[in-house]
Structure 1
Amino acid sequence: MKADETSTAWLDQVYCEDALAGLSRIPDGAVDLILTDPPYNLGKDYGNASDQQTVEEFLQWTERWIDAALPKLKDNGSLYIFTTWRFSPEIFVMLKKRMTMMNEIIWDRRVPSMGGSVRSFSSVHDTVGFFVRRKDYYFDLDAVRIPYDAATKKARSRSIFIGAKWLEVGYNPKDLWSVSRLHREHAERVDHPTQKPLEIIERMIKASCPPGGVVLDLFMGSGTTAVAARRTGRRFVGFELNGEYCRITAERLAALDGAPAPSPEPATAPRAKPRARAKAAAPDTTTINSLE
């Protein structure tokens, strides 16, 4: 069914179930942006075996969820996918067969220069692919421009620069994003092993999802995509296998609304070892669905 043929009950929800099983809840052509951070297959413990597959199994599974998710995207929609350099070549080729690649974004995690391998160069970045369906994709550069500092503006004070829009609104973010990973002392940090900073997720949403539009995250984790969507005036929908992560997401969303976190139905999803994936409900618009 198309988006205008169904109800909108699926909006502002994170379903505690496998995305491959639950994507049928979302109408085709209903989503403005797919923004997702799937398991990297590096052996991390998310309370299940999703990050512990063989290379062949992992790539086959990745292709399955890509093919299931893309029909949900509008014709002018976009996709951002976090991945690791170990698998980005294969995953990007999969997506290039289906979409147009606009950028490879490097997230410099600002890892301290200590420790690491003694047999190779230390890996301190994540790779992000930015893909679109067609040439007239939605993209709001002004929403994510980076302001110039006072010294730069002063240096550009000659008459030839007067009235220049770019000088007032700032410059285009480059494809190298230097944003610190979340340490234990960061206020937004929750109990999840690979939580992404809101700064990064909000930049993607502001640039590639119109106000009031819909963001889909197939691997919601600690709920950062849902929180970023709520903070920026967008709708969201997502999936998460781990019931504990769903609880964390609910708490994060409730904190935004100044309301007590709802009590999700008992989830049968395995619980992470202390980590958890979450999605939450706003007072009247968000619900956490435990369906396993």
Structure 2
Amino acid sequence: MTTWLNRVFCEDALEGIARIPDGSIDLILTDPPYNLGKDYGNASDQQTVADYLAWTEQWVDAALPKLKPNGSLYIFLTWRFSPEIFVMLKQRMTMMNEIIWDRRVPSMGGSTRSFTSVHDTVGFFVNRKDYYFDLDAVRIPYDAETKKARSRSIFVGAKWLEVGYNPKDLWSVSRLHREHSERVDHPTQKPLEIIERMVKASCPPGGTVLDLFMGSGTTAVAAQRCGRNFVGFELNPAYCEIIEARLAEPAADAKAPKRKPGRKAPALQE
């Protein structure tokens, strides 16, 4: 039974994850609460440090069995807790990258007692050496000036010059401001540009992406746009409605696998 595919369940991930069969997920891509006290319509971002780290370990241990043996995980974190969480994950997986997302925050305002924080930290982890990774799908094209400068005979026919270069581990992509067309009413919405890069690189076409904390639904939208399946969870009913609206937009439907209607979770069947 695959009644759980292409669904966002409006429920706690720890309560609903049992519906997902073990070994069925190609990529876990998730942006959990950072425990910075933000209002998500619940108290999920307002725990003690000890409770937050224990809760993180709990959902990680519930989610990792759902990954295929060659699956991967991307997790968004704040620098405040990434050291502890990375150490915990390293005991379970192999860390491939620490990606820094430069949010392009304007050089104004900020703290007067420390340096202004302008980045998020993303951990990229894999299960084993033969993990799926499609570099060609996310290469960045060289501009015409660079290609012209590499016109000497030793560069003629060089594949890398034609297909582009490997993205570095510093991703400079603007955070979403109110004027951005993809912006919705969610305090920590991530740009599609970032999420689509992860999906294309680490989930095969037709594969399945799991997001335990869907928020504004960007992971589901990115998967749908890229021809992948998705499954996820979101506690806040208002955010669930936002996700449904985003998934119904024509641009998102262009390359979409068939999606089950409705956001309410059915009774467990698996």
Distance 1:114 1:181, change over 3 A: same
Please name the residue that 1:184 is paired with.
178
CA change 1:282–1:73 in 2 (3 A) is closer
Distance in 1 separating the partners of 2:215 and 2:65: 22
- CA–CA separation in structure 2 for the residues paired with 1:30 and 1:250: 23
The code of the aligned residue for 1:287 comes to G
Secondary structure class of the residue paired with 2:105: coil
In the superposition, the TM-score normalised over structure 2's length comes to: 0.95
Q: Deviations over 1:31-61 (max 9, x none)?
A: 0000000000000000000000000000000
Shift of 1:283: 7.2
Residue 282 of structure 1: CA displacement? 8.1
2:227 maps to 1:287: no
Q: Secondary structure at the match of 1:288?
A: coil
Aligned CA RMSD, in angstroms, stands at: 1.6
Contact 2:214 / 2:233 at 8 angstroms: preserved in 1? yes
Structure 2 segments unaligned to the other structure (5+ residues): none
Task: State the secondary structure of the residue aligned to 1:82.
Answer: strand
TM-score normalized by structure 1?
Answer: 0.88
User: Is 1:52–2:46 an aligned residue pair?
Assistant: yes
Aligned-pair CA distance for 1:246: 0.3
Identity between Structure 1 and Structure 2 (%): 80
Q: Compared with structure 1, are the counterparts of its residues 67 and 283 closer, same or farther at alpha carbon in structure 2 (3 Å cutoff)?
A: closer
46, 68, 72: which one pairs with 1:78?
72
Residue identity opposite 1:184 in structure 2: R
Contact 1:250 1:288 in 2 (8 A): yes
Matches within 5 A, 1:33-72: 33-72=27-66
Amino acid at match of 2:23: G
CA contact (8 A) 1:111 1:124 kept: yes
Match of 1:3 in 2: none
Structure 1 runs (4+) deviating above 6 angstroms are: none
Aligned-partner Cα distance in 2 for 1:283–1:142:
26
Alpha-carbon distance in 1 for matches of 2:151, 2:261: 48
Alpha-carbon spacing, 1:173–1:286, altered in 2? closer, same or farther (3 Å): farther
Give yes or no for contact 1:146–1:171 (8 Å, CA) kept in 2.
Answer: yes
3-state DSSP class of the match of 2:242?
helix
Alignment of 1:1-292 (within 5 A): 7-256=1-250, 284-290=259-265
Q: What amino acid sits opposite 1:141 in the alignment?
A: L
Residues 36 and 218, structure 1, Cα contact 8 Å, conserved in 2: yes
Counterparts of 1:258 and 1:170, CA distance in 2: 26
Q: How many residues align?
A: 265
Q: CA deviation at 1:284?
A: 5.0
Deviation at residue 290 of structure 1 after TM alignment: 4.8
- Following superposition, the deviation at residue 289 of structure 1 comes to 1.8
